């Protein structure tokens, strides 16, 4: 509850979606991320999968790291750095997956676009607070 009060007290972008939109969006995105991995493993050539899978794992770890840094540590600047790194890693992930499975790559595009929007929201919180 304390963390919620902290977040609600922040100045935010007027484009910040309502709370319920985040849970719906992330549910859909996590499904597309999982499907992307499934299609990459299923469709891709059996060779040279290690580096793309390491990159995929890196973006998952960065994704999981963002929330505790932002909401638990209240470190909005570090969270912004994390999300910028996350955007770069997801972009690289899309390129690497595309080489072996176009479907897997395309499934990551909504996630990539949402991250850009989320980075904007995070930046606005940094700038306004």
Q: Per-residue pLDDT for 125 more than 60?
A: yes
pLDDT in tens, 32-68: 999 999 999 998 666 778 899 999 999 999 999 999 9
pLDDT at residue number 49: 85
The residue behind tokens 């840094």 is 69
The mean pLDDT value for 72-77 works out to 97
Higher pLDDT, 44 or 97: 97
Distances, alpha carbon 69 to alpha carbons 45, 75, 84, in Å: 37, 6, 14
The residue behind tokens 């395309």 is 106
């Amino acid at each position: 509850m304390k963390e919620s009060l902290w977040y609600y007290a922040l100045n935010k972008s007027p484009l910040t979606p309502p709370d319920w939109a985040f849970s719906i969006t992330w549910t859909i995105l996590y499904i597309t991320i999982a499907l992307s991995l499934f299609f990459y493993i299923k469709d891709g050539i059996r060779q040279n999968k290690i580096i793309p899978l390491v990159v995929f794992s890196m973006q998952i770890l960065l994704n999981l790291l963002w929330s505790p840094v932002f909401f638990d540590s209240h470190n909005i600047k570090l969270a912004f750095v994390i999300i910028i790194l996350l955007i770069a890693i997801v972009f690289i992930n899309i390129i690497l997956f595309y080489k072996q499975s176009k479907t897997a790559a395309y499934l990551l595009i909504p996630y990539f676009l949402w991250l850009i929007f989320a980075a904007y929201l995070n930046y606005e919180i940094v700038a306004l607070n």
